[in-house]
Structure 1
């Protein structure tokens, strides 16, 4: 199986390095992506929007002459969902790592965009305690070493969806900072965050208790969870 891995905001393909060994050992072909504007610290980010990142994933799908599994972390969940909408016949399963799909007209970050083309990773003090579970000082330094400014218009751009066949593609949600029971409660309460998740026809939930960056805090366990989802699909 071909597995396309889409990192969350501020991260490159290298952020998946400790998660992929079990996938490769099982014989899967793994394609971690670095998205436009995140190639290096000096990469131009002006004019790069959410659709550009969706298009980059679609291009990766088109380059593989087989059905694929799409894995997205954090803000990458909206990106892979946009790619699924563009290529629903070519996606075998979706895997959302500590995130859920976004709906029509949604953006990953709400509110008024800040000035400038760059969106640096915020200081730790701006994250919730649940985000930082298991992220000790050494791992924080490692994560910061990987982090690059995100193109602002990716975070604040609106997702546009067109093909409701996306709703029938099987999905796995790997719940980290919030357990699956919390996600199900949000669905039952009609919370906007989970509105698109509630529309999906075939969803399984897997708890992986840790913070928002399991590829750093529990990379082997994350790899095993992704592998299990892929194997169930096969």
Structure 2
């Protein structure tokens, strides 16, 4: 199966380099997406352009793909299901949740010169990054890409209730499935609460398992694909 891979903020398609051979060994073809404004050489881009890039990858896939979104890009992966509910085999979300209708996509930190830079590892101390070596952090810090405000401050709109029936897997790295279920039950994640085919899966890692646990991540993605 083709598996469309969408990394979160500050990352480009190379974030999946260690995951691709693991997926191939399991019989899949990984299709990393380099998003507009995140590694394609552009300094300006919009949220809608990023959605269009993910949908284009879905349309170009060999058959109906699984779409995998990481962190903030969980919204982009779910947007593919929203735009192509009959064109995706399912969606897997890693360490994040789809935004609620009318929210900004990812307006989390103050921008600098029209883009939101990575705020540094101190903001992610604890379970998010405990499994990362200092060498890995230093390497990634040098590769993080400031995300244009046209992306981070874009408004999320959902268009098709048919997305709610798309098979959905929430991969829980730095939080547990039990914690995720509590948030869903409390009404904090309306998109997941409305999903009719949702599975929660544990993954013992921090927030960036594509770097720290690529083989384990590939296995849970494979399980999502085989649903």
- Alpha-carbon distance in structure 2 between the residues aligned to 1:210 and 1:108: 25
Change (3 A) 1:120 1:114: closer
Aligned residue for 2:205, secondary structure, equals coil
Q: Paired residue for 1:229?
A: 224
SS of 2:199's equivalent in the other structure is strand
Q: Quick one: distance in 2 between partners of 1:164 and 1:122?
A: 35
**Of residues 193, 197, 204 in structure 1, which corresponds to 2:192?**
197
Could you tell me which residue of structure 2 aligns to residue 6 of structure 1? 6
Q: What is the Cα deviation at residue 45 of structure 1?
A: 2.2
Residues 1:35 and 2:30 aligned together: no
Unaligned runs of 5+ in 2: none
Q: Which position in structure 2 is the counterpart of 1:169?
A: 166
> Aligned partners of 2:137 and 2:87: how far apart in 1?
36
How far the C-alpha of 1:172 sits from its partner, in A, is: 0.6
1:161-220 residue CA offsets vs partner (Å, 9 max, x unmatched): 1110000000111101111100111122222xx121111001111111221111112111
Cross-structure match for 1:89: 86
How many residue pairs get aligned? The number is 227
| Unpaired stretches in structure 1, ≥5 consecutive residues | none
Q: Look up the match of 1:21.
A: 21
Q: Once the two structures are superposed, what CA deviation does each residue of 1:22-69 show, in whole Å capped at 9, x if it has no partner? A: 2111221211111111225xx2322x1111100001111122251111
2:92 counterpart SS class = strand
Match of 1:214 in 2: 209
For the residue of structure 2 that corresponds to 1:75, the secondary structure is helix
Corresponding residue of 2:181: 184
Distance in 2, matches of 1:29 and 1:2, equals 5
**Cα 1:108–1:11 shift into 2, 3 Å:** same
Query: In structure 1, what is the Cα distance between the partners aligned to 2:105 and 2:125?
Result: 17
Provide the aligned C-alpha RMSD in A: 1.7
Q: TM-score, normalised by structure 2?
A: 0.93
The Cα shift of 1:158 comes to: 1.2
Hey, what does 1:102 align to over in structure 2? 99
Q: Give the structure 1 partner of residue 151 of structure 2.
A: 154
2:67 maps to what in 1?
70
Rounded Cα–Cα distance in structure 2 between residues aligned with 1:31 and 1:141: 26
Which 10-residue stretch deviates more, 142-151 or 85-94?
142-151
In structure 1, how many angstroms separate the alpha carbons of the residues matched to 2:115 and 2:135?
26
1:45 aligns with 2:43: yes
Q: Which runs of 4+ in 1 moved over 6 A?
A: none
